[in-house]
Chains A and B, each alone.
Chain A
Amino acid sequence: MSEQASSPDTTPSPLVTALQREHPEWISEVIYAFGETTIIVPREHIVAACSFLKTWPEGQFNFLSDICGADRGVEEEPRFEVNYHLFSTTKYHRIRLKVVLNEEDIHVPSVTGVWRTANWHERETFDLFGVIFDDHPDLRRILLPDDWQGHALRKDFPLRGYEPYSLK
């Protein structure tokens, strides 16, 4: 890894500066790393932030690349995070929004009203991490069987699964 990549790049992007000027309450933290910009958004503002960024003339993030969950570890607080990877097909730039969650209150508003493709991404995140997306039209498992117990990508999920599926 080169020296430039390992040192944090703290130059604020004009995009974030403009967003901070318009809606400072949406941004609780900005992280710059490896040429990527991550904005940590409070949970209650995520739908408003997404729908704003989609149509914002300076952003035009009309394409939702991915929604994925992450488990930081059982003893971490907050433990879970949900990442929204946004892309603009007209301006050709990317941004990542992040919502951090406690294990006790693992609810996020659904962004299926903003991008319809969020439907399956949120189902996947629910399936593998157990994140409940409020107001999701059809929140059920997508990858694992319907009668599965637990959420497979959580750090405390045993690699071989639970009975009766683990047949060892």
Chain B
Amino acid sequence: MGLENVIAEALPEVLTTRLDSLINWARKSSLWPATFGLACCAIEMMNATTSRNDLARFGAEVFRASPRQADVMIVSGRVSRKMAPVLRRIYDQMPEPKWVISMGACATSGGVFDNYAIVQGVDKIVPVDVYIPGCPPRPEMLIHAVMMLQDKVMKESVRDRRDIPEEEARQAVVPGTLPVTDGSTARQNTLPESRPYTIASRHERRRSS
């Protein structure tokens, strides 16, 4: 033992650390959110980036409209059945590593909308890392959730966050696509075959197993 001391004496400008903690530190310090403002919670989400609350202090102020550039999806608001495949598609378009914050009672559990039109919790569609209660939650609660997510990021390993192999991804049902109909569905009185939203991503499978 004492390897660190030997290195520190021989190479005083070199710092040794675990690769995981270095990469996780870099990741958690700049979480770029993908906006998924679906309802009134989005107003509070916007407010979290303003000068009063200043989400930039935690490196998560760069809200991206493109999922390709985003790390964390903040689902703020109720998710309707029709929005569900769209949301899943946005999630699938985000590159790894990616995380999801379920903001508010509606995104977490359907909230007061316990009916046919609203998904009863966004975790039915995508894996959720942090849930925020409240209707709507205050911006402080969203900041707290980002900080909790940062703690969670620090506990992960780089090996858990690989993208789906390309071969496997090609075999999957194109996520989020709605069946294309030409109006014949009503005439023939048949239903288009129901399809799963998508295949599970790798870290999703790891969590469920």
A selection of 20 A-B contacts at a CB cut-off of 8 Å is A126-B186, A138-B183, A139-B186, A140-B183, A143-B82, A144-B82, A145-B81, A145-B85, A145-B178, A146-B178, A147-B179, A147-B191, A147-B193, A148-B81, A158-B116, A159-B116, A160-B115, A160-B116, A161-B115, A168-B120
Please give, as numbers and ranges, the residues of chain B lying within 8 Å of A126 by CB-CB distance: 186
A166 at the interface (CB under 8 A from B): yes
Total residues of chain A contacting the partner, CB 8 A: 24
CA of A139 to CA of B187, assembled, Å? 9
A56 at the interface (CB under 8 A from B): no
Please give, as numbers and ranges, the residues of chain B lying within 8 Å of A35 by CB-CB distance: none
On whether the beta carbons of A146 and B192 are closer than 8 Å, the reply is: yes
On whether the beta carbons of B194 and A147 are closer than 8 Å, the reply is: yes
Please give, as numbers and ranges, the residues of chain A lying within 8 Å of B202 by CB-CB distance: none
Tell me the interface secondary structure of chain B in the complex. Answer: loop
A55 at the interface (CB under 8 A from B): no
A97 at the interface (CB under 8 A from B): no
Within 8 A of A (CB), among B124-175: 124
CA of A126 to CA of B185, assembled, Å? 12
Extra inter-chain contacts (6) besides given A140-B185, A168-B120, CB under 8 Å: A140-B183, A145-B81, A149-B191, A152-B117, A165-B81, A167-B124
Interface residues on B, range: 20 to 34
A82 at the interface (CB under 8 A from B): no
Contacts A146-B178, A167-B124; A160 near B183 (Cβ below 8 A): no
CA of A140 to CA of B186, assembled, Å? 6
Please give, as numbers and ranges, the residues of chain A lying within 8 Å of B179 by CB-CB distance: 146-147
B114 at the interface (CB under 8 A from A): yes
Contacts A140-B183, A144-B82; A161 near B120 (Cβ below 8 A): no
Please give, as numbers and ranges, the residues of chain B lying within 8 Å of A168 by CB-CB distance: 120
B209 at the interface (CB under 8 A from A): no
On whether the beta carbons of B181 and A146 are closer than 8 Å, the reply is: yes
CA of A139 to CA of B181, assembled, Å? 10
A132 at the interface (CB under 8 A from B): yes
Chain A proximity of B123: nearest CB distance (Å): 10
| A-B interface, 7 closest residue pairs, ranked by CB to CB distance from nearest | A161-B116, A138-B183, A147-B194, A139-B186, A140-B183, A146-B179, A145-B82
Please give, as numbers and ranges, the residues of chain A lying within 8 Å of B191 by CB-CB distance: 147, 149
Chain A proximity of B34: nearest CB distance (Å): 23
CA of A145 to CA of B81, assembled, Å? 7
Please give, as numbers and ranges, the residues of chain B lying within 8 Å of A165 by CB-CB distance: 81, 116
Please give, as numbers and ranges, the residues of chain B lying within 8 Å of A32 by CB-CB distance: none
A157 at the interface (CB under 8 A from B): yes
Please give, as numbers and ranges, the residues of chain A lying within 8 Å of B119 by CB-CB distance: 167
On whether the beta carbons of B115 and A139 are closer than 8 Å, the reply is: no
Binary A-proximity of B36-73 (CB < 8 A = 1, otherwise 0): 00000000000000000000000000000000000000
Point out the residue from B81, B186, B193 that lies within 8 Å of A144, measured CB to CB. B81
Chain A proximity of B177: nearest CB distance (Å): 10
CA of A167 to CA of B183, assembled, Å? 28
CA of A96 to CA of B178, assembled, Å? 36
Chain A proximity of B106: nearest CB distance (Å): 15
Please give, as numbers and ranges, the residues of chain B lying within 8 Å of A14 by CB-CB distance: none
Point out the residue from B117, B120, B185, B193 that lies within 8 Å of A167, measured CB to CB. B120
Chain A proximity of B198: nearest CB distance (Å): 15
Point out the residue from A139, A146, A157 that lies within 8 Å of B116, measured CB to CB. A157
A57 at the interface (CB under 8 A from B): no
